[in-house]
């Protein structure tokens, strides 16, 4: 089991590195960000927005890892957590709180859900997005690895603590 887990992890890491190196994850400067289009309703048909505020939107993930899998994205474009600093703590905290409230509205205890961010180069879309996933038991083995706290995935609470320590 341990060896199978390491093999699965190795495969995920290699695929992610390949995607990053080959440019599959990168968007050309001239290319539009479709998450920005979703957030600003510029391109249709966008996903159904479950929550919309002045700062962020929440919608269902196109490729859900479990029965409930939602994304919270800011309306302002940021490539990833790496693009943020201490001044963005409030935004990330509000996104986290919004996701928690949304999960509660779906009869989910947020403490039992996975709520966090992937880190570069292990991101599928270069636009900051917070995952809210439940129940973890529904997830495939590969998704369990992909969304476990590690150097490629950070729980939202850990991300906030890290941002609080960053320079402006």
pLDDT of residue 70: 99
Task: Give yes or no for residue 27 having a pLDDT over 50.
Answer: no
Residue 47, pLDDT score: 86
- pLDDT tens digits for 63-102? 999 999 999 999 999 999 999 999 999 999 999 999 999 9
Q: What is the pTM of this model?
A: 0.82
End-to-end alpha carbon distance in the chain: 44
Provide the percentage of residues in the chain whose pLDDT is more than 90.
Answer: 72
Q: Are 168 and 87 in contact (CB under 8 A)?
A: yes
Structural contact between residues 126 and 35, judged by C-beta atoms closer than 8 angstroms: no
Could you give the number of structural domains in the chain? 1
Q: What is the mean pLDDT of residues 130-154?
A: 98
Which pLDDT value is given to residue 38? 87
pLDDT bucket at 10, cuts 50 / 70 / 90: low
Using 50, 70 and 90 to split pLDDT, how confident is the model at 40? confident
CATH code of the domain in which 129 resides: 3.30.428.10
Q: Which domain holds residue 20?
A: 2-164
Residue 44: Cβ within 10 Å count? 7
Residue ranges of the alpha helices (H) in 27-140? 34-40, 89-105
> What CA–CA distance (Å, rounded) separates 5 from 23?
27
Point out the residues that are catalytic: 129
In the predicted model, what is the mean pLDDT of the chain? 86
Residue 26's pLDDT is 39
Is the predicted pLDDT of residue 50 greater than 70, yes or no? yes
Q: Which residue has the tokens 């990833």?
A: 80
The pLDDT, as a whole number, for residue 23 is 39
């Amino acid at each position: 089991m341990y060896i199978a887990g390491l093999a699965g992890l190795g495969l995920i890491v290699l695929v992610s590195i390949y995607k990053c190196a080959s440019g599959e994850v990168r968007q050309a400067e001239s290319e539009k960000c479709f998450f920005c289009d979703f957030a600003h309703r510029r391109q249709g048909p966008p996903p159904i927005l479950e929550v919309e505020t002045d700062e962020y939107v929440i919608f269902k993930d196109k490729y859900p890892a479990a029965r409930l899998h939602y994304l919270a994205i800011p309306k302002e474009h940021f490539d990833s957590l790496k693009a943020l600093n201490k001044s963005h703590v409030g935004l990330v905290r509000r996104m986290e709180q919004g996701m928690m409230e949304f999960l509660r509205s779906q009869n989910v205890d947020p403490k039992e859900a996975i709520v966090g961010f992937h880190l570069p180069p292990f991101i599928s879309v270069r636009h900051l997005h917070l995952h809210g996933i439940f129940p973890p038991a529904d997830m495939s083995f590969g998704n369990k690895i992909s969304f476990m706290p590690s150097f490629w995935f950070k729980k939202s609470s850990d991300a906030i603590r890290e941002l609080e320590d960053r320079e402006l």
